[in-house]
Amino acid sequence: MAEFSPTILAFCCNWCSYAGADLAGVSRLQMPPNIHIIRVMCSASVKPEYVLKAISGGVDGVLVLGCHIGDCHYMTGNHRTAKRMPLVQKVLKEVGIDEKRLRLDWVSASEGEKFQKVVTDFVDEVKQLGPNPMRGVKW
């Protein structure tokens, strides 16, 4: 059987983490091709519903990346992300989904290498978790 190759969705804020991902690209830092980025202006605009929608639709993992605390382009936006995402993890756990399928991390515009590391680690972790049990579930 071919090795499980997870599908991962990432939300990156325009100012730091998306720029960090760009820098990783410019620096040709290699990483697994499982990640698909949606650009948002700030990590604080990521609705919990998006995460739940992705997971219930079979996406194997969701990564939310923002600026480091204190660096959010919108001052305190990511403080909200930092509070909100753990709540979403709780909800996932509550319904029997491993909360590790959602990860929140901070990547600055100059951290191409950190972006590479976060993506690589997360892909590894989701591989360990195996396919999302919600895959293929018809609603």
What's the closest the beta carbon of residue 36 comes to ligand FES, in angstroms? 19
- Identify the residue whose tokens are 């990483």: 31
66 binds, among ligand FES, another protein, none (CB under 5 to 8 A by kind): ligand FES
Task: State the Cα torsion 40-44-46-47 to the nearest 10°.
Answer: -150
Stretch 29-68 residues interacting with another protein (CB under 8 A): 29-33, 36-42, 44-50, 53-54, 57-59, 67-68
What's the closest the beta carbon of residue 82 comes to ligand FES, in angstroms? 9
Distance CA(101)–CA(132), nearest Å, equals: 9
What's the closest the beta carbon of residue 66 comes to ligand FES, in angstroms? 3
| Of the residues 63, 107, 108, 118, which one makes contact with another protein according to CB under 8 A | 108
In 106-116, which positions are buried (b, 16+ CB within 10 angstroms) versus exposed (e)? bbbbebbebbb
Give first-to-last CA distance, the chain, whole Å. Answer: 28
**Whole-Å CA distances, 14 to 8, 20, 30, 88, 115:** 19, 9, 21, 22, 14
For the window 47-76, what string marks contact with ligand FES as x by the rule CB under 6 A? -------------------xx----xxx--
From 8-16, 95-103, 122-130, span contacting another protein (CB under 8 A):
8-16
Asked if residue 46 binds ligand FES (CB under 6 A), the reply is no
